Amino acid sequence: MEKKICPYPGLRPFTENESIFFKGREVHIRQIIRQLEEKKFVMITGASGDGKSSLVYAGVIPNARAGFFRAKFSNWLITDFRPERSPLQNLARTISQHLELDAAFVEEELGYGFSALTSLYKESKFYIDYNSEKWINASKEEQKKMKQSASNLFILADQFEEFFTNSENFSNNKPSANAYTTINLLLETARIASEADLPIYIAFTMRSDYISQSVAFKGLPEFIGFSQFFVPRLKRNELQQIIEEPAILSGGKVSKSLSEKLINDLPNGFDQLPLLQHIMNRLWKVADDGNQELNLLHLAKIAGMPSKILKAEDRENFDAWLLEIEDFRQVYYDKPMLTNVLNTHANILYEKSFDYFSQNIDWAKQNITKADAQLIIKIAFKSLTKIDEGRAVRNRITLREITQIINVPHISYEIVCGVMNIYRLQDSTFVRPFINDEDIATQYLSADDTFDITHEALIRNWKYLQEWEAEEMDNLSNLKDFQIQLNRWKDNNKADGFLLAAGALAYFEDWYNKSKPNKYWIAKYDMNAFSKEEKLENAEILSSEIVEFLQASRKYLLALKRKQQRLRTILLIAALIIIVTLSGVAFLANTARKYAETQAVLIEQQKKKAEKQKEIAEDQKEIAIKATELAEEEKKRAELNAYEALVAKLLSDSAKTDAQKMRALAELSSEYAKKEAENAKLARDKAEEMRLLSENERKIAESERERANVLSYLAMAQSLALKSKQNYNDKQVNLLLAYQAYKFNKDYGGSEQDPEIYKALNFAILNSGEKNIIPLEKENFTNMSLNGLITLVSKHGKLQKYDFNGGKPSVSKTLSSKIPVNSSYVLDAKYAIIGYEDKTAYLWDYENNQVEKFPDYSDYIRGAIKLSNSTIAISDRGPALKIWSFDQKKPKLIIEIVFEERINDFVFVPKKNMMFAACNNGNIIGIDLDSYEKKNISTKKNRATAIAISPDQSLLAVGYSNGVIDVFTVSDKITFKTSIYASSAGVSNLVFDENSSTLAIATDDERINLYSVTDFEASPITISDHEQNVKKLSIKNNRIYALCYDSSLRFWELSLKNYVEKVKSLITRDLTTEEWNKYIGEEIKR
Amino acid sequence: MSKNVDTIRVFLSDVSEEMKSTQDFLSKILVRAGMEIIFLNANYEEIDDEILTNRILDEVKKADCTIHILGHSYGKIIQNKKQTSLSEFQFYVAQNYQKENVISKIFIWYPQDLIDKPLDASQEDFINSVRNNISSNMVYSNHESPVVFVEDLRSIMLSDKKEIKDIKDTDIFFIYNELDEDEAHEIIELVSDIADVTKLGIVQSSPDDYMTFIANQMTKTKLLVIYFNRTSDWATHFVQQVWNKTGGASSQTPILFLGDLETETNENKNIAIPNVNSMMLSAELMPLEIKVHLDAIKN
């Protein structure tokens, strides 16, 4: 079979050669051509990814060349260029090539601006001036030849926004001279062409978000106002043409179901067209290069799809295919969506890059590992994008520059080129320049060749690249923060006071060590310099300043630390001195008191001595008087003695005064010492009190610290639980992180049924390839019952029993009828009730394969319960409950109990011999089976959709269409207990576990919530990985089983502990130190 | 058929009970978008299948298109042979009518916000059957906004192809550039002796809408010949654009792309596109080559 040409270019724009497949834009092409015909100029604007370039290259230009453009001549010179980093040179290059003129001459001429371009054209051989002598004097044959070579001139400045995005063209809100001249030249050319009716046509394509910046170029806003074309949003029929017609042109076909699905699911806004073209390109390849009709099955294989949407025969094909693909791809199909296609494709190339390099690139050294290859891709794509006003945009960059930013000695530019080649293949075309399959030389690029991401849709839709960009954004933001601090330091003569504080230093050192910003990376974000050399020079200076600033800050902080240590020592000594001093004061007071007491004793002794001397002097006076009487000669001696005695007395009196003074002093000293002692005691008591207070505070602080520690570990457990649900290449990481989350939670007293830990463990198990689907035979099951075995009844009337591992059914019986089963209810190990689409109903003794029709019955059964061995209750779409006996096997209607509205669900409570019905009008009605009397239990506005009784018959739960569940206590009376709000979607199923301790709730938003009966206010565990609504929910042996709408039977453990054991059994290694530090943190000890 | 907004008449099919308010809302939007709505006025409970089919057909025939709103419940089953809902019955009547009347279109609207809701088993079967059997004149929209749905409907109804007028059946449709006019006329003169020829000379500065004419004439032509002598640049692009707009590889009319071998610049001007025979021949061999191709088509 002849290979068909793929008519969908993928992510890249259509080229002129591919215009034969360009569809859906006919009206827009005509409008642009009309504008050009009339005004000679058009500015084509629009959002990123709306096909501006394709519209010109594959629409306007080919139509012009084909003659569908009214112009003077038959031929066209198409001079197109992108501004890139040197717009004037690029324009000169294309003009010189097409006008067949010397490049240097053209560049010099164009450098003068204004009419330079029109002059070059008018003087070239491609223009005919019908008034010139040359034309008038030419023969008819010569004139014919001249006309045959005459050409209109079409100038296209594609991606005009590069005049603003490249700092070489536009910096500090000012255009460079080079850029300014280029725009002057183009606008003047358009003006002259319009005035002189020259066949020159000028078109610019520019992203509309740059329009406001055009004011920087004089005259440009006026021209935009004069002739602008805003690329319109595609209508449904235009999208349909884009999808279907290229395939038809190439001899293929797109199924209408696929076409409508694509139109319905395509995201609006940015990237609609590139995503669609990429999807179509992938579909074409999956559909055997267009040899098969492109259909939904092909889409399912590239984007995923709920299997219910596929045709029955395609479902098996898809399921089998899904099982065969590589593990890393499986995860992409979990959430089917069109944006998966690009993300999956880019990821597959990322995973296969190393193998591709090893097997296909023989011209580069093979001395790299898979990790090296993936590092190259990561840094290359980070280099191919840059952050512009907070958003990631394309950044053209040479192979040499990428290699320099990677900056790993053994990684040469050849290796970088070889690894990146997988993204340049014709099958992918994610990065320009593309590899041409027919020209092997295009595989190999020189170091100065420029790489460019084909379309920004890749940046916005490849999740890895988004993560890398977030990292890049962080790095850039850190660099800018750092520069602010660095400049402040420099502006203040590098003063110590402007160095980094300890926290900031630690932060920036960590950033520096992790991101290793080299000068090539820094130069990428230099928006101030125009030339590359200047940027590198600036970056080198900044790079060394960064190191200097970090080193100076570190040195200063070390010095400060040492100083602080010294200060601490001094303070310690001072404190010791104070303590010693205080002790000294007390000691001195004591000593003074003792000294005063000693002095008082001495004074007393001296006083006694003085009194004795006085007595002696008195005696001597008496002797002297007696002697006067006796002897005249003795008189003077006696008077002398008396005088001596007087002196002695005076002396003695003086000593007495001194002693009294000393005693008073001693008494004062004693008093003072006493007071000092009291003060010392008070101080000691105060100190003791303070010590006790401080001890108490220390204990509180210790307790708070412990509490904070516990909380931080619990928070860490939650954080790890979240991290464990991300995609890692090694699924062991998911298991290890989930297990570590569980451990932290358990060790630090977290809830035993913590919802996040539960989800993390469940995810890690499923992610590791374990399935929570019980394998059953392919049947469309209508209902399920769990007793000793799993019993299921299919749409075709087949009753099957499986053990809890699934596989082959141990029992498989069919109730033969050609009418499909509408509903089924397995009553016990013997009987089932089957309701058919023709509204008949049967009681089936499937043990003995006997069947009895319910007489006079004509409706769809909506519920059935066995009340005793001989009675059953049945509800249907009418407002009644019917109780039947089947004593003689033949069902016989006992009573029909009529309600206001139909019953959506009902339960039987044996201990009260009552049934409770959940009604469509929101009423909950109790029915006494002795008297068949009805009693209203509760009334609400919303529909009551499900009801359940706990196995111990103590709790009754009712679910409503607004997602609310009311819980009642069942005793002598039915008493309202509490309300839970499970979801904004309605409740479809309720079931209690066997211990009456958990209430499981299935809601119509594809979730199952597990509530603890003892604490309804606690956050529930939410299960959502089934992504299906639940037909029937049951709990058996601590497992929840859900029969889903896709007929799959899924299960989950009720207890988190069971998941832990499973996770432990799947773990084959420990977290490495690197992983521990990355996900948990170096500061957390193992 | 080209239409004005005023003349678009829409048959709005029956819906299940829960979709009545949606249907009502949509009908008000359709009216405000300038369309006329046709409902079925029949007591379907009391009539048999054939009468009901005819009554529905009568209304569908009055309309330019039909709208079928899908909800999550199947709706009331009517007492027909197949025990279907009225909305399903109406859909199949419209579908059968559309198979024989390609101008009529069927618009199915299954609003996005209903997609995730559980379906009645019968409704699920119906929706799956519709989804897997969408044909060329059917639109299956999931847009949540009824306004967008009506906008889409209107743009599709108004973008129907223009009616073909003043086009006659011809064996050969011969196109050339005015710069090659003299040589082209010589060949046409010879070919006219053996077959019906319609000719078209392209003048670059002409205001004529060549493409519409070419696309229409192609439908009545057995073989399209694009000839060039000194206008190879024009011709190679022209043939591609014609191919693009007239069905490409799937077109019923093949293209013969003939260049004059004796003109040096034509040396490498052969093109390889499916359904296009590209040849560089001397001018005198061209009539014979054209005849060979035409005979092959006729046989």
- Note the pLDDT tens digit of each residue in B139-174: 999 999 999 999 999 988 887 555 556 688 999 999
Q: What are phi and psi of A884, to 5 degrees?
A: -120, 145
The verdict on a CB contact (< 8 Å) between A236 and B159 is no
Within 8 A of A63 by CB-CB distance, chain B residues are 241
Name the residue type at position A655. A
Same domain? A348 vs A328: no
Q: How many CB atoms lie within 10 A of CB A911?
A: 11
Domain boundary among A192, A207, A230: A230
The verdict on a CB contact (< 8 Å) between B204 and A67 is yes
Q: How many CB atoms lie within 10 A of CB B31?
A: 12
pLDDT of B2 higher than 60: no
How many CB pairs lie under 8 A apart between chains A and B?
141
A837 part of contact set with chain B, CB < 8 Å: yes
The verdict on a CB contact (< 8 Å) between B177 and A70 is no
Q: Residue A328 — very low, low, confident or very high, per pLDDT cuts 50/70/90?
A: confident
What CA–CA distance (Å, rounded) separates B169 from B242?
A: 19
Give me the CATH number covering residue A799. Answer: 2.130.10.10
Number of domains making up chain A: 6
End-to-end Cα separation, chain B, in angstroms: 33
The verdict on a CB contact (< 8 Å) between B141 and A264 is yes
* Helix/strand/coil for B299: coil
Name the residue type at position B94. A
Structure tokens at A593: 């008191």
pLDDT value of residue A59: 96
Pick the residue of A236, A838, A984, A987 with the most B CBs within 10 A to test the interface with B by mutation: A236
What CA–CA distance (Å, rounded) separates B146 from B30?
A: 9
Q: Which H/E stretch holds residue A413?
A: helix A413-420
What CA–CA distance (Å, rounded) separates A884 from A872?
A: 5
Same domain? A431 vs A488: yes
For residue A504, tell me if it sits in a domain.
yes
For residue A118, tell me if it sits in a domain.
yes
Pick the residue of A33, A264, A311, A821 with the most B CBs within 10 A to test the interface with B by mutation: A264
The verdict on a CB contact (< 8 Å) between A66 and B139 is no
What CA–CA distance (Å, rounded) separates B161 from B214?
A: 14
A335 part of contact set with chain B, CB < 8 Å: no
* Mean pLDDT score, B204-210: 80
Who's near A984: CB < 8 A, 6+ residues apart? A962, A963, A1005
For residue A1060, tell me if it sits in a domain.
no
pLDDT digits (tens, 9 = 90+) for A401-452: 999 999 999 999 999 999 999 999 998 899 999 999 888 899 999 999 999 9
Residue in chain A nearest B138 by alpha carbon: A256
Same domain? A698 vs A827: no
pLDDT digits (tens, 9 = 90+) for B247-294: 888 889 999 999 999 998 898 889 988 899 999 999 999 999 999 999
Within 8 A of B242 by CB-CB distance, chain A residues are 66
Who's near B199: CB < 8 A, 6+ residues apart? B173, B174, B175, B176, B184, B188
pLDDT value of residue B175: 97
What CA–CA distance (Å, rounded) separates A505 from A292?
A: 63
SS3 of A158-176? CCCCHHHHCCCCEECCEEC
Same domain? A585 vs A522: no
Within 8 A of B230 by CB-CB distance, chain A residues are 148
Pick the residue of B204, B227, B271 with the most A CBs within 10 A to test the interface with A by mutation: B204
Q: Which of A70, A263, A296 sits opposite B206 (nearest CB)?
A: A70
Structure tokens at A761: 């463990």
DSSP secondary structure letter of residue B160: P
Q: Which of A68, A148, A795 sits opposite B210 (nearest CB)?
A: A68
Pick the residue of A126, A260, A988 with the most B CBs within 10 A to test the interface with B by mutation: A260
Pick the residue of B161, B244, B263 with the most A CBs within 10 A to test the interface with A by mutation: B244
Same domain? A512 vs A583: no
Domain boundary among A230, A245, A267: A230
Which residues numbered 135-154 in A keep a CB inside 8 Å of some CB on B?
A: 144, 147-148
CA distance B141 to chain A (A): 6
A279 closest CA partner among A304, A252, A251, A312: A304
pLDDT value of residue A390: 75
pLDDT value of residue B3: 45
Within 8 A of A21 by CB-CB distance, chain B residues are 244, 248
A134 part of contact set with chain B, CB < 8 Å: no
**C-alpha count within 13 angstroms, C-beta hemisphere, residue A77:** 21
pLDDT of A526 higher than 90: no
DSSP secondary structure letter of residue B85: B
Residue A879 contacts residue A865 (beta carbons within 8 Å):
no
The verdict on a CB contact (< 8 Å) between A21 and B274 is no
Same domain? A376 vs A265: no
Q: How many CB atoms lie within 10 A of CB A57?
A: 23
Residue in chain A nearest B230 by alpha carbon: A148
Residue A627 structural domain? 552-719
Burial (CB count <10 Å: 0-12, 13-18, 19+), residue A728: middle
* Mean pLDDT score, A145-152: 90
Q: Which of A236, A248, A820 sits opposite B152 (nearest CB)?
A: A236
pLDDT digits (tens, 9 = 90+) for A1028-1083: 889 999 999 889 999 998 888 999 999 888 899 999 999 999 988 888 888 888 87
For residue A16, tell me if it sits in a domain.
no
Give me the CATH number covering residue A146. Answer: 3.40.50
pLDDT value of residue A64: 94
Same domain? A447 vs A352: yes
pLDDT value of residue A605: 78
Q: Which of B131, B240, B249 sits opposite A257 (nearest CB)?
A: B131
The verdict on a CB contact (< 8 Å) between A19 and B243 is no
Residue A440 contacts residue A412 (beta carbons within 8 Å):
no
Give the ipTM of the model, two decimals please.
0.84
What CA–CA distance (Å, rounded) separates A992 from A74?
A: 82
pLDDT digits (tens, 9 = 90+) for A684-701: 787 788 778 778 877 877
pLDDT digits (tens, 9 = 90+) for B76-129: 888 777 788 888 989 999 999 888 776 679 999 999 888 778 888 889 889 988
Same domain? A576 vs A448: no
Which residues are A1043's β-sheet partners? A1032, A1049
pLDDT digits (tens, 9 = 90+) for A210-236: 998 899 999 999 999 999 999 998 889
The verdict on a CB contact (< 8 Å) between A20 and B248 is yes
Same domain? A573 vs A598: yes
A808 part of contact set with chain B, CB < 8 Å: no
Residue in chain A nearest B145 by alpha carbon: A264
The verdict on a CB contact (< 8 Å) between B121 and A795 is yes
Within 8 A of A62 by CB-CB distance, chain B residues are 237, 240-241
CA distance B51 to chain A (A): 23
* Helix/strand/coil for A834: strand
Within 8 A of B206 by CB-CB distance, chain A residues are 70
For residue A348, tell me if it sits in a domain.
yes
A5 part of contact set with chain B, CB < 8 Å: yes
pLDDT of A47 higher than 70: yes
For residue A795, tell me if it sits in a domain.
yes
CA distance A22 to chain B (A): 8
Within 8 A of A1005 by CB-CB distance, chain B residues are 116
pLDDT digits (tens, 9 = 90+) for A945-979: 999 999 999 999 999 998 899 999 999 889 999 99
DSSP secondary structure letter of residue A57: I
pLDDT value of residue A320: 87
The verdict on a CB contact (< 8 Å) between A237 and B155 is yes
pLDDT of A925 higher than 50: yes
A73 part of contact set with chain B, CB < 8 Å: yes
A902 part of contact set with chain B, CB < 8 Å: no
DSSP secondary structure letter of residue B164: P
* Helix/strand/coil for A2: coil
Domain boundary among A719, A745, A763: A719
What CA–CA distance (Å, rounded) separates A854 from A864?
A: 13
pLDDT value of residue A702: 83
CA distance A1008 to chain B (A): 15
pLDDT of B1 higher than 50: no
Same domain? A396 vs A376: yes
A256 closest CA partner among B146, B224, B98: B98
Pick the residue of B131, B213, B253 with the most A CBs within 10 A to test the interface with A by mutation: B131
Within 8 A of A294 by CB-CB distance, chain B residues are none
CA distance A252 to chain B (A): 8
Structure tokens at B146: 């009824």
The verdict on a CB contact (< 8 Å) between B132 and A1005 is no
Same domain? A832 vs A933: no
A309 part of contact set with chain B, CB < 8 Å: yes
Q: Residue A121 — very low, low, confident or very high, per pLDDT cuts 50/70/90?
A: very high
Does the bond joining B287 to the residue before it have cis omega, within 30 degrees of 0? no
Residue in chain A nearest B271 by alpha carbon: A17
For residue A949, tell me if it sits in a domain.
yes
pLDDT digits (tens, 9 = 90+) for A792-824: 998 888 899 998 888 889 888 888 777 888 899
* Mean pLDDT score, A258-274: 89
Mutual angle of helices A370-383 and A399-406, in 10-degree steps: 120
For residue A382, tell me if it sits in a domain.
yes
Burial (CB count <10 Å: 0-12, 13-18, 19+), residue B79: exposed
Q: How many CB atoms lie within 10 A of CB A646?
A: 12
Same domain? A381 vs A285: no
Name the residue type at position A820. P
pLDDT digits (tens, 9 = 90+) for B173-196: 999 999 899 999 999 999 999 899
Match 């200097």 to its residue by tokens: A548
Domains in chain B with CATH codes: 5-158 (3.40.50.10140), 170-298 (3.40.50.9100)
